[in-house]
Amino acid sequence: MSATENARVVIIGSGPSGWTAALYTARANLEPIIYEGLQPGGQLMITTEVENFPGFPEGVQGPQLMQLFKEQATRFGTRVRSETVTGVDFSKRPFRVESEGGVVLADAVIISTGATARYLGLPGEKAFYNKGISACATCDGFFFRGKEVIVIGGGDSAVEEANFLTRFCSKVTMIHRRDELRASKIMAQRALDNEKIEIRWNTVVTGYHGDANGAIRAVDLENIETGATEELPTQGVFMGIGHKPNTEIFVGKLEMDEAGYLITKPDCSYTSVEGVFACGDVQDTVYRQAITAAGSGCMAAIDVERWLEAQGH
Positions that interact with ligand NAP (CB under 6 A): 120, 152-158, 160, 177-178, 182, 204, 241-243, 285-286
The residue among 84 and 264 lying less far from ligand NAP, judged by its C-beta, is 264
Work out how close the CB of 159 gets to ligand NAP at its nearest, in angstroms, rounded to a whole number. 8
Pick the closer one to ligand NAP by CB: 140 or 156: 156
Rank residues 131 and 177 by Cβ distance to ligand NAP and give the closer one.
177
Q: Taking the complex as a whole, how short is the minimal distance between the CB of residue 287 and ligand NAP, in angstroms?
A: 9
Smallest separation (angstroms) from ligand NAP to the CB of 155: 2
User: Shortest approach of ligand NAP to residue 286 CB, angstroms?
Assistant: 5
Catalytic residue among 89, 107, 139, 179: 139
Residues forming beta bridges with residue 13, ordered by sequence position: none
Quote the least distance from Cβ 53 to ligand NAP, whole Å.
20
CB nearer to ligand NAP: give 8 or 243: 243
The residue (of 175 and 300) whose beta carbon lies closer to ligand NAP is: 175
Least distance (Å) between residue 80 CB and ligand NAP: 31
Q: Which three-class secondary structure string do you get for the chain?
A: CCEEEEEEEEEECCCHHHHHHHHHHHHCCCCCEEECCCCCCHHHHHCCEECCCCCCCCCEEHHHHHHHHHHHHHHCCCEEECCCEEEEECCCCCEEEEECCEEEEEEEEEECCCEEECCCCCCCHHHHECCCEECCHHHHHHHHCCCEEEEECCCHHHHHHHHHHCCCCCEEEEECCCCCCCCCHHHHHHHHHCCCEEEECCEEEEEEEECCCCCEEEEEEEECCCCCEEEEECCEEEECCCEEECCHHHCCCCCECCCCCECCCCCCCECCCCCEEECHHHHCCCCCCHHHHHHHHHHHHHHHHHHHHHHCC
- Residue number, 171 or 244, with CB nearest to ligand NAP: 244
> How many CB atoms lie under 10 A from the CB of residue 171?
15
- In the bound complex, which residue of the shown chain has the CB atom lying closest to ligand NAP? 155
Catalytic residue among 89, 107, 136, 257: 136
Rounded CA separation 220/120 (Å): 13
Catalytic site includes residue 169 = no
Chain-centre distance for alpha carbon 171: 26
Q: Which is nearer to ligand NAP, 8 or 288 (CB)?
A: 288
140 is catalytic: yes
Min dist. Cβ of residue 240 to ligand NAP (A): 6
279 is catalytic: no
Strand order in the sheet with 171-175: 133-134, 236-239, 148-152, 171-175, 197-200
Q: 309 to each of 30, 265, 269, how far by Cα in Å?
A: 11, 20, 16
Q: Which residues are catalytic?
A: 136, 139-140
